[in-house]
């Protein structure tokens, strides 16, 4: 790889790291090309990207960006999954894929300014997606109003039933 290509790769990786909410480091050694393609496809559906790293270039970028804590994950064959959207969704996809394919190893990650170990990424993967959490929140906010409407509508209904019962009794 010539100098211009290296500089371009460094720029792309730096840009990706600045935009990413989640960065998860993996060891992909012995994964087949078809499996890598399948993983990339699944990650793309979750608005994430999967990129194989050149370790020396990646370490240079991490040092430049002040991410020395994650340099320990850049050993051996390394690829990163980055997401600008929901960190939980990329963690879910990787954890599920790692269960199905023994050769994908999750090393650790960096999510919104915090370094995460493998077990923490597993916990993150167990969380519901952002959309599900928003739906639950809106349901909780909406519940008191719905209950109030139900209670208020029950009073006139009972009154109508009582009046109807009196009418039936008299006739």
Query: Is residue 129 scored above 80 in pLDDT?
Result: no
In the prediction, which pLDDT does 103 show? 93
pLDDT digits (tens, 9 = 90+) for 27-80: 999 999 999 999 999 999 989 999 998 999 898 888 888 888 888 999 999 999
Cα dihedral 42, 87, 130, 119 sign: positive
| CATH tag, 3-127 | 3.30.70.1730
In the prediction, which pLDDT does 109 show? 94
Residues 6+ apart with CB under 8 A from 100: none
Give 120's pLDDT tier (boundaries 50, 70, 90).
very high
Query: Is residue 97 scored above 90 in pLDDT?
Result: yes
Within 46-129, residue ranges assigned H as helices are: 55-64, 87-100, 118-126
**CB neighbour class for 148 (10 Å; exposed up to 12, middle 13-18, buried from 19):** exposed
| Confidence (pTM) | 0.75
Query: Is residue 143 scored above 90 in pLDDT?
Result: no
Q: What average pLDDT does this structure show over 119-127?
A: 92
In the prediction, which pLDDT does 66 show? 83
Q: What average pLDDT does this structure show over 111-124?
A: 91
Are β-strands 48-52 and 105-111 bridged in parallel, bridged antiparallel, or unpaired?
Answer: unpaired
């Amino acid at each position: 790889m010539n100098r211009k290509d290296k500089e371009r790769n460094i720029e792309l990786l730096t840009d990706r790291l600045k935009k990413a909410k989640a960065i998860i480091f993996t060891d992909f050694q012995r994964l087949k090309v078809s499996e890598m393609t399948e993983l990339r496809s699944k990650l793309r559906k979750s608005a994430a990207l999967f990129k194989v790293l050149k370790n020396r270039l990646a370490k240079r970028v991490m040092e430049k960006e002040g991410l020395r804590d994650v340099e320990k994950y850049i050993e051996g064959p390394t690829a990163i999954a980055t997401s600008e959207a929901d960190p939980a969704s990329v963690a879910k996809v990787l954890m599920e894929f790692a269960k199905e394919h023994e050769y994908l190893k999750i090393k650790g990650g960096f999510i919104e300014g915090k370094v995460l170990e493998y077990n923490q990424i597993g916990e993150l993967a167990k969380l519901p997606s952002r959309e599900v959490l928003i739906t639950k929140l809106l349901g909780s906010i909406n519940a008191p109003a719905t209950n109030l409407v139900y209670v208020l509508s029950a009073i006139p209904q009972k009154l109508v039933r009582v009046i109807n019962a009196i009418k039936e009794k008299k006739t």
